[in-house]
Amino acid sequence: MDQVTPPVSSQSSSRMQAAAFSVHILTALGAGVALIAMLEAVREHWTSMFAWLGVALFIDAIDGPIARRLDVVRLQPNWSGDVLDLVVDFLTYVFVPAYAITASGMLLPLAAPILGIGIVVSSALYFADRRMKAADNHFRGFPALWNAVAFYLFLLHMPPLLSTLAVAVLIVLTFVPIHVVHPFRVVRLRWLTLWLLAAWAVLATITLVYDFNVGLPITVGLCAIAAYVIGSNAAIRLIKSLKA
């Protein structure tokens, strides 16, 4: 005899909807964190700015899995988590870091405002591109990770000319069909990617604690992980082509 699933009570349904909406609030809090990071950037408290951007990064990492677990799309159909996520991501991944890159004196003075505009305009176009992700969930083009770019510029202290060229190249790469690994959604070597991401978080935290005054081993480790994220897919494709 088939069992009949009892109907969900209205009170239980309300609790589920409230829990689902709380995930949207969590995501939206990232915008508030972006404002605090911007205030720190305006005061040139760069380490504090990166710390708050790290908080935003943590929120961005956990809100998606929580939303899927609580079935937010079904329970809150009138609110678009995807749109909300893009709005907050633009602030934390692009706008605040673009200000830091432009205002910190790391670029050539004449080029800084032009490249700052280039960062926000190219990233806005990238966020609107429906081809942002490939079928295997790799990002197509440089994925507007300007918070990471700003972090590495502060870490490496390159001459302004080199920093300017690096930013210009990355703006161009936004529109080049290279594939960059998504840390959570790319299945291939996910175990390695997640371990490296955890290592990066530890090394980046140490770097902020010491106000970017860290030794060569930490700097090399951070750069090696960045090289893996940017170039692992290209390296694997090259190896496969050589074996073919």
Residue 131 has pLDDT above 90, yes or no: no
C-alpha closest to that of 213 among 147, 150, 154? 154
Q: Are 22 and 69 in contact (CB under 8 A)?
A: no
Q: Backbone dihedral region of 189: left (phi > 0), alpha (psi from -120 to 50 degrees) or beta?
A: left
Cα–Cα distance, 146 to 220 (Å, whole number): 20
Report the range out of 13-17, 54-58, 135-139 with the highest average pLDDT.
54-58
C-alpha closest to that of 133 among 182, 68, 193, 175? 182
Residue 5 has pLDDT above 70, yes or no: no
User: In whole numbers, what is the pLDDT of the chain averaged over residues?
Assistant: 90
Cα–Cα distance, 177 to 129 (Å, whole number): 12
| pTM, 2 dp | 0.89
**Cβ contacts of 179 within 8 Å, gap of 6 or more:** 134, 138, 139, 140, 233, 234
- Predicted pLDDT at 244: 62
Q: Mean of the pLDDT values across residues 145-163?
A: 97
The percent of residues above 90 in pLDDT, for the chain, comes to 64
Q: Mean of the pLDDT values across residues 210-235?
A: 92
In the numeric block, which tokens belong to residue 46?
């760069």
Collapse the DSSP code of 133 into the 3-class scheme (helix H, G, I; strand E, B; otherwise coil) and give the result. Answer: strand
Compute φ and ψ for 139, nearest 5 degrees: -70, 140
